[in-house]
Chains A and B, each alone.
Chain A
Amino acid sequence: MTGKLRQIITASDPATRDQSLDAFGRGASLEGLLQECEDLEAFRHRSENLYERVRALFFLYAMHRFHLPTKAGMKLRGLVPFKGYNHLLRRRFEEALEVFLATQAADGPSDAISSALASTYYRLGIQTLADQVRRSVRSVRGNQWMFRMGHPADQPLRIRPELLQRSPTGGGYPILREQTPVRMDLTHSAWSDIFFLGMDFPEGANVLNVSVDLAVKGRHATPKPPIEVYLRVIDEPVLRLTSVDLGTAADISNLNEVFDFAKDYLGLLKAAVIAAGIVPPGIEGSGQSLADLLARLAGPGRGLELISNVNDIPKGSRLAVSTNLLASLISVCMRATSQAQSLEGALQENERRLVLARSILGEWLGGSGGGWQDSGGVWPGMKLIRGAVAQEGDPEFGLSRGRLMPVHRVLDTKDVSVEMRQKLQDSLVLVHGGMAQNVGPILEMVTEKYLLRSESEWKGRLQALGILDEILGALRNKDVRGVGAATSRNFHDPIQTIIPWASTFYTETLIARARKEFGEDFWGFWMLGGMSGGGMGFIFAPEKKQLAQVRLQEIMSQTKRELESALPFAMEPVVYDFAINEKGTWADLLSGEELLLPQGYYALVVPKLLRLDLDSLPPLRRAELDKFAAASRTEQELRGAVQDVFDSVLPQPKAATMAGESLSELLEQNGFDRAQHEQIRADLKEGRIGLAQNRLPAKTKIEDVQPEDVIDATGGLPGDCVELGKAAIANGEVAVVTLAAGVGSRWTQGAGVVKALHPFCKMGGRHRTFLEVHLAKSRRVGRQSGTMLPHVVTTSYLTHEPIESFLAWQQNYGYPGPLVLSPGKAIGLRMIPMERDLRFLWEEMPQQLLDEQAQKVRDSLRTALIGWAKGAGEGSDYTDNVSAQCLHPVGHWYEISNLLRNGTLARLLNEQPNLKHLLLHNIDTLGADVDAALLGLHIREGACLSFEMITRRIEDRGGGLARVNGSVRILEGLAIPREEDEFVLSYYNSLTTWIDIGKLLAVFGLSAGDLNNPEKVAAAIRNLAVRMPAYITLKEVKKRWGHGQEDIFPVAQFEKLWGDMSALPEVDCRYVVVPRRRGQQLKEQAQLDGWLRDGSAAYVESLCEWKSEI
């Protein structure tokens, strides 16, 4: 009966409404599911209820992503129409759906079109939710007027008169200082503070949130509010913004610049100025004068200065530092403009709520978004924050079940006694583990799973609610051990049930080591924020706390050293001292002798002033200098600032690059070809090579292949292939080559970790690295055949040493067969990209548009990056980073030729005289293994190279199998003449290749015997290399600085790709279509959850045999 899913969505009783989609999907037929999809599609159009629509969208997504592809009768091969894809990129979701649904109706359902529909439904669902939050933020009373105001003459705010009273002795205006604690989430809410969840399931949105002061152990003496912001009137008509912690200051005199968030590190301050109504959002793009607006606020010729200072608390602390900083900035601005009655001291409850509303607005403006509990530092002490059901009169009423804004109840001493608060402080060790990861994908996953009511995740959510009550009970009963037990259970059960990725191998190693060392005195682990690895809590018996602080620092540092090639660490781990802050955000009006700003401010500002003509300085700035000069003679804490100022005004030796001399040594040692590099630079600068030049000529004819061009192995292969393959394996004729020279730029967004060593997922009960999975597959095949497979791992300078020492540490994961590393013999030096290429990538290539505000921020960032490239010198060497981030591997074509050059192949042939074939695969192609049938097919066909292909889904970008001017070959994405050409190709290259060694050597013009002649081998490689196209690519690299801060830069590099071997006429190739689970690659961590849920992970696990099992 059609309409079953619709009934689940519209049901008013929770038992029906909370039913899982998966349970239904598993039992339904293809026809039944398609009918349900049709019904839901019609329903979502006619429903006026936001959450019915959104849930229908997520149901539709899940059916196309997880259920339809598994049904018998589903066609695998299909094409995604480019027109629909283009709509999707432009965020025209409804139009995209129209196109995809029309294709489905015309061509019949297919795996390809379902992937396109799934992707579109998902994004439309997320967009619908984001739109609703945005509407709610704007419609909160107290926020609305700011969107109406478009002219300085309409600015209704005025600076409070107290801030305009200048010091009678000629000094400046008084300073309003706000000090704000950060927030610690005591219960972890199972992410129930995500706005979408709170607005649909307010009853389930509950958080116990504590305001805390911090001190980094060894850096600060005692805990204090980590956030300080300052506001004062100045006698220049500008907005002077200074971020002391990020070392940036700017005088803004133009309105447009206030809305340019990513131009510098002042985005948060700008968002605060806007969200506080000083420069209201409605005035953006009005072309009006900032000076006029400031005159209206503070008087003609006057401006405002806003300073932020975060006391060395690193990024990624999971303590919502940035949201509380935003709230603190907004608070000080609102106090200064009478929007809060309280000029000094604490805020009233209604004022705190207003600051919360404005912070939500500010986060949206800045293109970020935390949870609704994040500005908890504004409130004092410990508080329970709960979702609220929307009532008549609320802007949300009738649209969503819950309100945007939660309700805060500050816990009193009956809820948690003074004694218990102290006990908690005596037992909890708060740390930053050093990892900084993007939690954005996790928040989307949580939303999706909630809306789908996936069975185990839903149970987990309900269980987390019970744990909150348990923690509240333990707090009332003064039972810290009970708190620790509950937070530990929360982490191990509901949190990881909902999101397995919340835990990391690093976290679990720390917990295991803490438990091993402290035994019964380790009372529990406590996860903070979106995921673990950064800010975390460990609870110990109070008498052990001091020791635990010392030991945890050591354990974290040691574990980080062991894993730093494998996981993205942004900084050295730190341990905090902390104290519960019972005041919440707090302001003081400083005047007279107190008028001193933080030391870092002077270190930043004074040198700039000293370089100017003192007579030309405005009087207040001169007075500022005088004040600093006088204070630096008497104030102990300003002594350091004097040294900083001194250093910065004296001439410095020419700035050495970060990479420094070690870089040139490394280049020499690793076969860097200077002549080739200079040629590439010259070609790049002259425009002979570049992103546009990667492409084949526009007149090239690109067509999809014909059925006879491929061998379809998705339905199995004949028995003789299996037998042939089995015999070859048993006879020692095959070895595996895993390509592991890369650092997975997309995997960790340029963090530079070795992807092969990333413990990416729990399989067989614990975290496994990519490398371990590949070895486990070879182990199984070897054991089953009775002959252990030689397994080669190709490396590069970037990955060789880490992989070598990691394997030594892990004792080769117990791999019983030959395990060989093939070190890279080619390396490149990254270059600053050309503006032309950046513009090509960002302006001419189809780009995924982001949500409105996020797109604005991205555009602003891109303008800044183009400025950086021009300023730093287009086409010059990229050296302003650690060495590893300046070098690059030069493409997987070289990884295979290196086997010849570095002697690995010769040695293998020597040790394995029967060896005839190689199975080559990428590090992230987890389903690839030595499959007897496919090997048998390769042998039977007698080809030089047998490439494994998969049917294409919408996310498979980067080329495919094509007829290029009539010849069948693999076409790399970079070479495709027009974007739309890729959409006529129905097969995607998995890169997995069966190689006939003898025939490959022949292509190089070599025989096995020649492998012992290095000169001949080198010449052969060089000769073939010149026939391979060199592609210019832009990659993202992270540059780390400060305490956990990271910037991402685009850099240019070149590469030669293995798939282009198929274009050589003398290479005899076959193209075998294999099941998707075998050929799909994991390129981004955001893919992991779907990979786990669609059965791919279970498939891979079925291929593995772990160390302990033999």
Chain B
Amino acid sequence: MWEARAPSKQTSFVEIKKAIITAAGKNQRTLPLQTLVDRDSASKTALAIIVEEVMKAGVEEICVVVRPGDQAAYRVAAGPHANRVQFVEQAESLGYGHAVHCAKEFSGDQPFLLLVGDHLYLTREAKNCAQQLVEVAKAEACAVSAVQATHESKLPYYGAVGGHLVPGRQRLYQVESVLEKPTPTEAEQKLIVPGLRAGRYLCFFGMHVLTPPVMQLLGEAIASTKTGVQLSAALNRLAAKERYLALELRGRRYDIGVKYGLLTAQLALAFDGKDRDEVMSGLVEMLALKGE
């Protein structure tokens, strides 16, 4: 039972000062370098937008996991906050879990915020997605993953969690199991969460606050296998070991790595920012011309 699982004693949740951003995926390495126009009408790289999001959440130090040789480009892409960013290289593509573990020295015995470099996050709330997550993690003093109720047809793309609502809370779940890209068959047997609509599961949002034991579990996994290491497997073990929550965020993620992903993310930023009218009228004009 989760009540019996105590928060990790050596972990201090007073502040979450560190963040890890992964950008070493095979098809992912150039994505954070793409330039978009942010809500404030300024052109920035995707990496810079992510870094700003993280810093608003109170993070002071950022580690980006990159492929060997990518450091220089990323340093430039980090923009005005480059001085807060350090880099660690993942020499071999051995899975997402392995990439995270590359930043073990950086995180040390501190909890850390983890994001992927090819996603942008938007919310209409006063607090951005990273802020919402970090606040809950600090309040609950445990690992928390951001999740979103996702239709089962999207299961092949995400890790998913099973569990139940924390008594008396909304959108906050006690995680009991984690599976990476489950089939709906498996999801239906192991991941049904009371309160969600049929055929929907809590899938990862690409943003977590994790505790040092995760690094330890990843290290064990790396030692025991020569093939890829998934973060989900380590988080599944974490759920059995200590209190681990999932927060259904009020926000949307934009994967800039998929077809038209960059365009969609750009439009989302534009509609949410200063240039909304300009972009809208441009689009309307395009639509009108198409109709001629």
Contacts and interface: CB of A to CB of B under 8 A. Distances in A.
Interface of A: 141-146, 148-149, 153-158, 277, 334, 337-339, 350, 354
B188 A155 contact: no
A157 B184 contact: yes
A339 B151 CA distance: 18
B153 A155 contact: yes
Nearest to A145: B184
18 contacts: A141-B192, A142-B185, A142-B186, A142-B188, A142-B189, A144-B188, A144-B198, A145-B185, A148-B152, A149-B152, A154-B153, A156-B155, A157-B156, A157-B184, A158-B156, A337-B183, A339-B183, A339-B185
Contact of A148 (B154, B189, B192, B199): B199
A145 B152 contact: yes
A156 B186 contact: no
B137 to A, nearest CB: 30
Contacts of B189: 141-142, 350, 354
B185 A149 contact: no
Contacts of B152: 145, 148-149, 154, 156
Given A141-B192, A145-B199, A148-B198, A154 B151 contact: yes
Most B Cβ at <10 Å: residue of A142, A149, A350: A142
A277 B183 CA distance: 10
Nearest to B190: A141
A153 B154 CA distance: 9
B160 to A, nearest CB: 11
Given A145-B152, A350-B189, 9 more contacts: A142-B185, A143-B188, A144-B188, A145-B184, A145-B188, A154-B153, A155-B153, A158-B156, A354-B189
In this complex, the member of A143, A145, A149, A157 whose beta carbon has the largest number of chain B beta carbons within 10 angstroms is A145
B50 to A, nearest CB: 29
A339 B187 CA distance: 10
Contact of B154 (A141, A144, A146, A156): A156
A52 to B, nearest CB: 30
Which residue, of B156, B185, B186, B199, has the highest number of chain A Cβ atoms within 10 A?
A: B185
A153 B188 contact: no
Contact of A338 (B154, B183, B192, B198): B183
* Shortest beta-carbon contacts, A-B, top 9: A154-B153, A145-B184, A339-B185, A142-B185, A156-B155, A339-B183, A156-B184, A141-B188, A141-B189
B192 A156 contact: no
B200 to A, nearest CB: 10
A350 B155 CA distance: 21
Contacts of A148: 152, 198-199
A339 B182 CA distance: 8
Interface string B141-157: 00000000001111110
Contacts of B188: 141-145
A142 B187 CA distance: 8
Given A148-B198, A148-B199, A339 B154 contact: no
Interface residues of B, number: 16
A149 B192 contact: no
Contacts of A338: 183
Q: Tell me the interface secondary structure of chain B in the complex.
A: helix
Given A145-B152, A153-B153, A339 B199 contact: no
Contacts of B156: 156-158
**Which of B152, B183, B192 has the most CB atoms of chain A within a 10 A radius of its CB?**
B183
A350 B183 CA distance: 14
B259 to A, nearest CB: 13
Nearest to B187: A145
B157 to A, nearest CB: 10
A148 B201 CA distance: 14
A156 B201 CA distance: 13
B186 A339 contact: yes
B30 to A, nearest CB: 24
Given A141-B192, A145-B152, A155-B153, A277 B198 contact: no
Contacts of B186: 142, 339
Nearest to A341: B186
Contacts of B198: 144, 148
Contacts of A142: 185-186, 188-189
Interface string B169-205: 0000000000000011111110010000011000000
B218 to A, nearest CB: 21
A277 B186 CA distance: 12
A354 B153 contact: no
Contact of A157 (B151, B154, B183): B183
A1008 B88 CA distance: 118
A149 B153 contact: yes
A339 B155 CA distance: 13
Contacts of B192: 141
Contacts of A337: 183
Contacts of A153: 153
Nearest to B192: A141
Contacts of B155: 156
Interface in B152-166: 152-156
Interface string B64-80: 00000000000000000
A405 B286 CA distance: 59
Contacts of A350: 189
Nearest to B186: A339
Nearest to A358: B185
Given A149-B153, A156-B152, A156-B155, A354 B185 contact: yes
Contacts of B184: 145-146, 149, 156-157, 277
Contacts of A143: 188
Nearest to A152: B153
Interface in B106-156: 151-156
Interface string B244-284: 00000000000000000000000000000000000000000
A241 to B, nearest CB: 22
B194 to A, nearest CB: 11
Contacts of A141: 188-189, 192
Contacts of A146: 184
A338 B183 CA distance: 7
Interface in B210-224: none
A846 to B, nearest CB: 40
Contacts of A157: 156, 183-184
Contacts of A277: 184-185
A157 B199 CA distance: 14
Contacts of B185: 142, 145, 277, 334, 339, 354
B95 to A, nearest CB: 14
A334 B185 CA distance: 10
A155 B183 CA distance: 10
A155 B151 CA distance: 11
A167 B183 CA distance: 27
Interface string B5-24: 00000000000000000000
Nearest to B151: A154
B62 to A, nearest CB: 33
Contacts of A158: 156
Residue from the set B153, B155, B188, B189 with the largest chain A CB neighbour count within 10 Å: B153
A275 to B, nearest CB: 11
A465 B54 CA distance: 68
A713 B259 CA distance: 88
A146 B198 CA distance: 12
Contacts of A149: 152-153, 184
A387 B190 CA distance: 23
Nearest to B157: A156
B64 to A, nearest CB: 29
Contacts of B183: 156-157, 337-339
A142 B191 CA distance: 11
Nearest to B183: A339
B256 to A, nearest CB: 21
Nearest to A149: B153
A148 B184 CA distance: 11
B203 to A, nearest CB: 12
A149 B152 CA distance: 9
